[in-house]
Chain A
Amino acid sequence: MSEGILPAGARFVAGGLEASADEPLQRHGRLGAVRASLAVLAVLPFAVPFLWLIASALKPVGQFYAFPPTLLPDPPSLESLAGAVALVDVPRLLANSTLIAVLSVAATVVSASIVGFAFATLPARGRRPLFAVLIATILVPPSATLVPQFILFSRLGWVGSYLPLIVPHLCGSAFYVFLFRQWFRNQPANLFESAELDGANPLQAWWHVALPLARPAIAAVAVFAFVGSWNDFLGPLLYLRSPDTFTISLGLAAFQGTYVSQLHLTLALSLVALLPVVVVFAVAQRSIVGGIATGGWRG
């Protein structure tokens, strides 16, 4: 399992994060309690590594390497974090990641929504086979194109810049196009037709009518595109050369390579790298759920 399946699940994510809508089959007292404790036990392995990361990152250095380990930092300390910040320009890494992620999100939302809008609303010869091609490209493994793409970007002189990490997003990643297409298909067709009767061309209809309607879809795609960009490792590893251009992921990897024996610093930096994604997810969860639960994603 890898970064690749992330978008694949996006369509269902919101529906799944919500409890089933037509609750409940009554849970009988004892059976319900058994199931609840089973559920807690089953969820623990997913939560413990995060909790352990937080506990470890906040321990004074002496406790960090204690064995057997202590459970909680006593007292919580920012010693490790300060140590990491002293060695590497953390704000710079975070700013680089943010810049790339924001530009990628903007490129993705604009291009995928335009292309999805066209597939949903403009009948044309060749639309069906092209849509089939679009779906097929979702299944092309990224490793197939890795080497030639690298050659292409180095020929263009883009290696060492952010362009290879951003420009491809201008071309509407297939899965997000699919999501927008589903969304627009579920809007009443005459909405867009009446816009055209008013003299708007399809591009104007997309901008003035479709996009404002698509806010929940935009939110969902934006979150997934942001997370995908923020977590990307292979891209920055291939294309970024100078440490002051590194993303937080690449900077973190380079850091652990340089300070192998300073695990406590690496862990503190890991926490810094994870937090923005966790925050984005926590903040956006409700809006994604709200958007998708309105039924827009149903085929």
Chain B
Amino acid sequence: MIARPARGGRLGLRPRERWFYLLIAPWLIGLVVFQAAPIAGAAALAFAEWAPPLPIEWVGTANFEAMLGDPRFWQAFGNTLVYGLGTVIPGLAIGLGLALLLRDQRRGGALMRGAVFLPAIVTGVATALVWGWILNPRFGLLNAVLGLVGIEGPAWLQDPAWAMPALIVMGLWNVGINVIVYLAALNTVPRELHEAAALDGAGRAGRFRHVVWPALTAITFYLAIVNAIGAFQVFTPTYLLTSGGPDGSTLTLALYTYQNAFDYGRLGYASALAIAVVVGLVVLTALQFRLAGRRVAYVGADG
């Protein structure tokens, strides 16, 4: 058969291809307008100072130099790192632990899984305020409970030493997503493998290490990346409850970027911060890929 392109318009597209591009057009337009162009814009603005209505002033690398000498930036950077370390790795461990614990609960299992998952889905302003209430130094539930066992609780969100740990606990409260993802992943481990390993004399720990864990490495890797990106975006609780305080102890990069852009009107510097966050995340993700390397087994991964 002689290949003869059907009428394909100027681009030489076959009819089905034209339909493909027609139907994905909304996404393509969004990709350009709401993603690519803004990222390019941020990259350009990072080399400018702009406080509308004043005209844009190109300042070269001045924003990045200012960033390196800005103690608030370094504080925000350190805080974000601490928050990330405090939520991501424990979040994976707690998520997996809870999944293993909850998977075989017969009585009330669905209710317990729902209870663990609910905080992750309703997270936002209301839950931040509830936590603010629980952590209230004078009337809060937590200090009341600590008082019962004779401990005088700290002022939590008003204490520079305890505000970040409190923020991390609030972050870990959203670990339900990880639990649910792990529960689903655990269900993909073939029962026969368990039984075969048990017949071979493998104990609980052995079965976990050799049968269960290999099936979870890919999903763990995925969760680590997505959770790390999420940790770098934490905004609502610190904006709402502490405004980054006390003494900047809960100032995160997301909050500092927001403050520069919308409170201080420094759009150029805010863009430089945003670019720094993106570069940091790309480096972090690349590191995670390297670290994971061959240890990740893509069992049953998508084609």
Residues in chain A within 8 A of chain B (CB atoms): 1-6, 8-9, 12-25, 27, 35-36, 38-40, 42-43, 45-50, 52-53, 56, 64-69, 111, 114-115, 117-119, 122-125, 127, 130, 133-134, 137, 139-152, 168, 170-172, 174, 177, 182, 201-203, 206, 227, 230-234, 238, 249-250, 252-253, 256, 263, 266-267, 270-271, 273-274, 277-278, 281-282, 285, 299
* Nearest B residue to A150, CB-CB: B261
Choice from A13, A14, A142, A263 contacting B133 with Cβ under 8 Å: A263
Residues in chain B within 8 A of chain A (CB atoms): 13-14, 16-17, 19-24, 26-31, 33-35, 37-39, 41-42, 45, 87, 91, 97-99, 101-107, 109-110, 112-127, 129-131, 133-134, 136, 138-139, 141, 144, 147-148, 171-187, 191, 194, 219, 225-227, 229-236, 240, 253-254, 257-258, 261-262, 267, 270-271, 274-275, 277-278, 281, 285, 300-303
Q: Which residues of A contact B277 (CB under 8 A)?
A: 141, 143-144
Q: Which residues of B contact A278 (CB under 8 A)?
A: 118, 122
Does the CB pair A19–B110 fall under 8 Å? yes
- List the 10 closest pairs (A to B, CB-CB), nearest first: A171-B30, A299-B302, A148-B41, A15-B184, A16-B180, A16-B183, A118-B23, A148-B38, A231-B124, A12-B184
Docked complex Cα distance between A141 and B281 (Å): 9
Does the CB pair A124–B270 fall under 8 Å? no
Docked complex Cα distance between A141 and B80 (Å): 14
Docked complex Cα distance between A189 and B121 (Å): 34
Choice from B91, B124, B173 contacting A46 with Cβ under 8 Å: B173
Q: Which residues of A contact B131 (CB under 8 A)?
A: 49
Does the CB pair B125–A249 fall under 8 Å? yes
Q: Which residues of B contact A68 (CB under 8 A)?
A: 144, 147-148
How far in angstroms is the closest Cβ of chain A from B107? 7
Choice from B17, B104, B106, B113 contacting A122 with Cβ under 8 Å: B17
Q: Which residues of B contact A35 (CB under 8 A)?
A: 101, 104-105
- Please name 9 pairs of A and B residues whose Cβ atoms are closer than 8 Å in the assembled complex, sorted by A: A4-B230, A46-B173, A49-B130, A50-B130, A123-B20, A143-B274, A152-B33, A277-B121, A299-B301
Does the CB pair B116–A146 fall under 8 Å? no
Docked complex Cα distance between A270 and B124 (Å): 10
How far in angstroms is the closest Cβ of chain A from B250? 15
* Nearest A residue to B232, CB-CB: A141
Choice from B29, B101, B106, B185 contacting A42 with Cβ under 8 Å: B101
Does the CB pair B233–A143 fall under 8 Å? yes
Docked complex Cα distance between A271 and B49 (Å): 43
Does the CB pair B240–A253 fall under 8 Å? yes
Docked complex Cα distance between A286 and B257 (Å): 40
Docked complex Cα distance between A133 and B30 (Å): 13
Does the CB pair B121–A6 fall under 8 Å? yes
Q: Which residues of B contact A143 (CB under 8 A)?
A: 232-233, 253-254, 257, 274, 277
Q: A5-B230, A23-B104, A39-B105 are in contact. List 17 more A-B contacts (CB 8 A).
A: A20-B186, A68-B144, A68-B147, A69-B141, A122-B23, A124-B13, A124-B16, A124-B20, A139-B226, A140-B35, A141-B232, A145-B34, A152-B37, A172-B30, A273-B125, A285-B114, A299-B303
* Nearest B residue to A266, CB-CB: B129
Choice from B41, B126, B226 contacting A5 with Cβ under 8 Å: B226
* Nearest B residue to A21, CB-CB: B187
Does the CB pair B20–A118 fall under 8 Å? yes
Does the CB pair B129–A170 fall under 8 Å? no
In the complex where A67-B144, A299-B302 touch, is A231 in contact with B233 (Cβ < 8 A)? no
Does the CB pair A203–B23 fall under 8 Å? yes
Does the CB pair A45–B121 fall under 8 Å? no
Does the CB pair B177–A144 fall under 8 Å? no
Does the CB pair B231–A172 fall under 8 Å? no
Docked complex Cα distance between A172 and B118 (Å): 26
Q: Which residues of B contact A147 (CB under 8 A)?
A: 38, 41-42, 45, 257, 261, 267, 270-271, 274
How far in angstroms is the closest Cβ of chain A from B30? 2
Q: Which residues of B contact A141 (CB under 8 A)?
A: 229, 232-233, 277-278, 281
